[in-house]
Chains A and B, each alone.
Chain A
């Protein structure tokens, strides 16, 4: 019988290597939350998001913005603080099995990061293009920006930061120093958020929504390239996991 079809028995008392529940729940959080956000945009974008001087804009959109600011700062503080505070101070002494388990947990974080990047850089960013081609903006805080810049970007920053911190505080493979490509893949997309400052400042001079490829937007492009740093992360992970499994796969 081929090795791939042999049954795998796990110790009943032992925690599973990959926590499928966390993987599914983590993914569902992004998909369901952003599904709800898209519903909210569909309903309140048209009914309350066309005129930023209208009272309903304040009610449905500016309040949404204020709430997300508070939630994002507190989520980042609590999550990153927790991961750092609960770090393993003897990370180089863990057993190989525990190390493997942590790699799986790290990959649960990376899968969440993938969802977050997809929604931020792909779904809500291109959506912003079609919104601007439909509605003349009269504020930096248009409905599409309140979702794209100030919700989906902070969420992938928080998720990416959490994945990085998890790797740095719990995995022996990341104790050699700061993994440059990992840093690039987290900090680069993070820089897209400060680049919003340049973007909005530019838009106070020029009405440029008619041209999505305008050079004013190239800052987003440059920092978007940093997502390719995930290639380096994959390579670090493959090296580490191969080392753990090499003997058993030989």
Chain B
């Protein structure tokens, strides 16, 4: 290859080529990350995300942020540190939510007839926006892990509150007190039923009363910080450009 030759005919063509690659890269990155992130999330936190009767005020609040901060941390590690693009977390969540919503409509509802108000996905955007904003404002991975990771865990429940609150209203059914979401679970029988039904409104949970969700969110925030650190380094490794000798 001759170094003196040019790959393009003009500066205008160079600009056009560069912009075209931007779109191709963005599309590919978006959908490949969507695929990897979605399979990860559905198999580590999926059941809590699939059904409203699993969206309780203890384990859903704990598990969902911990398992979902992974890919945002990894993608931020590449997009921010290499390109100063401050949307790694949001682009991941956009992908995940797009994949989930398409599935819940076309398959959960469209193929197996679970109503969408029983199987809508969790909202992960508030935490992701804060995660990106903290990284943009501080430029520090450590601060993003500690403050952003904590905010990611803490904001999950409030971020879903407006959606889930009506389904957490208590009802009495056959002499038992449960939530409307639990009642949905009773009526939409799944193959795992009855073991799959999670009556979480019992045991010591009730003696803790209103504190359960904040305590769960706080614990989730703590673990999210640690997971962020770990996955940021995963992201750096995945974003490296190593070559190995062919055997």
Contacts and interface: CB of A to CB of B under 8 A. Distances in A.
Given A132-B191, A179-B243, A8 B111 contact: no
Interface residues of A, number: 89
B99 A225 contact: no
Contact of B19 (A4, A120, A192): A4
Contacts of B243: 176-180
Interface in B1-34: 1-2, 5-21, 24-25, 27-34
Contacts of A210: 190-193, 195-196
B31 A249 contact: no
B39 A221 contact: yes
A111 B28 CA distance: 5
B156 to A, nearest CB: 17
A69 interface: no
A149 to B, nearest CB: 13
Interface in A162-190: 172, 176-181, 183-185, 189
Contact of B102 (A9, A123, A245): A123
A25 B112 CA distance: 31
A130 interface: yes
A122 B43 contact: no
Nearest to A118: B31
Contact of A121 (B36, B82, B245): B36
Contacts of A110: 24, 28
B159 interface: no
Contact of A249 (B15, B40, B192): B15
B142 interface: no
Given A3-B11, A117-B31, A228-B33, A235 B82 contact: yes
B207 to A, nearest CB: 27
A180 B40 CA distance: 22
Chain B interface: which size bin?
Answer: 35 or more
Nearest to B121: A126
Give the one of B20, B192, B244, B246 with max A CB within 10 A: B192
Contact of A177 (B13, B47, B244): B244
A103 B16 CA distance: 15
A92 B1 contact: yes
B18 A245 contact: yes
B12 to A, nearest CB: 3
14 contacts: A8-B10, A97-B5, A113-B32, A114-B28, A114-B32, A122-B34, A125-B39, A134-B112, A179-B241, A180-B240, A181-B242, A192-B39, A213-B44, A227-B35
Interface of A: 3-4, 6-11, 17-18, 38, 41-42, 45, 92-97, 99-100, 103-104, 107, 110-111, 113-115, 117-118, 120-123, 125-127, 129-136, 172, 176-181, 183-185, 189, 192, 209-213, 217-218, 220-221, 224-232, 234-239, 241, 244-245, 247-249
